[in-house]
Every structure is written in C-alpha cells, then in structure tokens.
Amino acid sequence: MTEPFRRQIRITSLVFAAALLIGAATMAVTDLAAAPQTPPKTVWDGVYTEQQAARGAISFDSSCARCHSSEPNAGEEGRRLAGEPFWESFRESTVDHLLDFVTKSMPNGAGGSLSANTYADLVAFILSRNGLPAGSSELTRDSAAGVQIIAKGGPGELPNGTLVKIIGCVARREGGGGFVLNRATNPERTSQTPDSNAADVARTLGDRSYPLMFLLTPLDRFVGHRMRVRGLLIGDGGRNGINVSTTQTIAETCQ
C-alpha cells in the first residue's frame, strides 16, 4: 500500500468519525429540545405535610401568637399571617423567601432563635392557614427553594403597593411633564433581587413602560441611560406607574 493511499484512508476515517460525532451531538440537542419541560413547582402541589403543619401550630401558639394572628379575618391587618395580608406580601414570591422572612422576623425581637426545623414547621402552618394543600413530603429549606407562591389560577401581577426593582431606559414622557421608564423589565420584589451592576447591564430588557411618579430629582441628564429604579407599584403590576424611592443609572446607553 502506497503512502498517498494510506494518507487518504486516514483522512477518510477522520472525516467519518467527525460525521458520527456531529450526528450524535445533533441527536442529543434534538432530544433535549423535544423533552417535555417540567413546570415549576408551586404551593398548590403540596409542599408540606399535615403532621408538620400541626407541629407548626404548636410552635406558633407558643412563640408567635402574642404578636400575630393565624385567622384570616381576626385582628389588625399587620398582625395577620393569613388571608389578604399574606397574599399581598408574598404573592409572586417563593416559599424559600417566605421561610427566610419568618426565620429573620420571628419571634418578634428574637428572629433566628428557633431551630431550622421549627421555622419550616411554622411556614407549613402558615401555608395551611392560607388554604394551600398538604402533600406527602415535609417542607425543608432545600425543598422550599424556587416553589412559587401564586394564585390557584396561575401567576399574576404583583399587587398595588409592592416595593419593587425595575430595569429600563429613561425617557421624557410624551407631551412633557415628567419621565418614563421604557423597555422595562417586569417588576421584581426588591428583597429577592440583590443589586449587581454587571448583571443588570447584561439583562435583556422588556416591553413595559412605567411613568416615574413623585421623583425628588429630575432625570434630564439621564435620558437615554439604562437605569435601576426602586419604588412602590401604583396599581397591580404598576399599571399606573411607580412611586419612586431611588434611581441609579447603571449604563450611559440603553442597549
């Protein structure tokens, strides 16, 4: 066998091997794309047990009841952990965020003083008092991660008065008289979104527009900038604008 012929055989073998690898990779990508996507877990999937909620009730009575009520329609609104106050505070949030809040806040003046298991039991009790179903597995810090707190009908807008963070492009309102945040992201609860200039600059912007209300400082020199805005939603989802608390420019252009 001549050397040119051997060389041709080697080249042919390499080409064939490469084709096999490409084919296998293509099939893997196709299979991944075709695989059904698992929907995110929600509080309606049963994320605690009845026994755990019962333990939580005992802990609530001994550690929390002097400051809070577990009845949806009893006591002052700020004291209630069930009913409308719960949904307005935690809707469109996650169970791990609720667990963090309870851990840091309860008992009043002694947050973090109970065991991790007790705090998980308390959250189980709070979920049960808000009509959310029990399941077959106990709630833990790990299992709480990413579990969505949403209405039974599905995700919705954050409620009026929620403190949020939004990223968008500063512009003057049409006809003058103020400023607006265009190409804005969906509002996010501020306690769940730590600031990162690099991440916020890299974020894909959205298609929303929010009038910026009650600004303390005009934004004329920031028109065209990408800006981080924090404030209170005016109307569910901010349909009537944002009652601005703080603004921070994070890029001088809005790409």
Q: What is the pLDDT of residues 149-158, one digit of tens each?
A: 999 988 899 9
Q: How far apart are CA 247 and CA 255, in angstroms?
A: 18
Per-residue HEC secondary structure of 65-76 comes to: CCCCECCCCCCC
Residue of 240 and 39 predicted with greater confidence: 240
Question: Which is more confident, 85 or 9?
Answer: 85
- The rounded percent of the chain whose pLDDT value lies above 70 is 82
Please report which confidence band the pLDDT of residue 190 belongs to, taking 50, 70 and 90 as the band edges: confident
Contact yes or no for 205/193 (Cβ under 8 A):
no
Residue 81 identity: L
Model confidence band, residue 170 (pLDDT cutoffs 50, 70, 90): very high
Confidence of residue 194 (pLDDT cuts 50, 70, 90): low
Average pLDDT over every residue of 213-221: 93
**CA 120 to CA 53: how far, in whole Å?**
9
Residue scoring higher pLDDT (18 or 237): 237
Q: Which fold has domain 43-149?
A: Cytochrome Bc1 Complex; Chain D, domain 2 (1.10.760)
Asked if 126 contacts 82 with a C-beta cutoff of 8 angstroms, the reply is yes
Domain ranges of the chain: 43-149, 163-251
* Beta carbons of 63 and 114 less than 8 angstroms apart: yes
User: Does residue 11 have a pLDDT over 90?
Assistant: no
Q: Is 57's pLDDT higher than 60?
A: yes
Residue 248: how many other CB atoms lie within 10 Å: 13
User: Whole-structure pTM over 0.85, yes or no?
Assistant: no
Question: If you average pLDDT over residues 208-212, what whole number do you get?
Answer: 96
pLDDT at residue 220 is higher than 80? yes
Cα gap 189→157, rounded to integer Å: 11
The predicted model gives 177-189 an average pLDDT of 93
Q: How far is CA 250 from the centre of its chain?
A: 21
pLDDT at 71: 85
Instruction: pLDDT band for 18, please (50, 70, 90 cuts).
Output: very low
Q: How far apart are CA 210 and CA 77, in angstroms?
A: 29
Q: What pLDDT score was predicted for residue 132? A: 97
pLDDT of residue 61: 94
- Let me know: does 196 contact 228? Beta carbons within 8 Å: no
pLDDT recorded at residue 72: 79
Beta strand 163-172 pairing with 226-233:
antiparallel
Backbone angles phi and psi of 75, in degrees to 5: 80, 175
Flag whether pLDDT at 25 surpasses 60.
no
Mean pLDDT of the chain: 85
User: What mean pLDDT do residues 1-14 have?
Assistant: 48
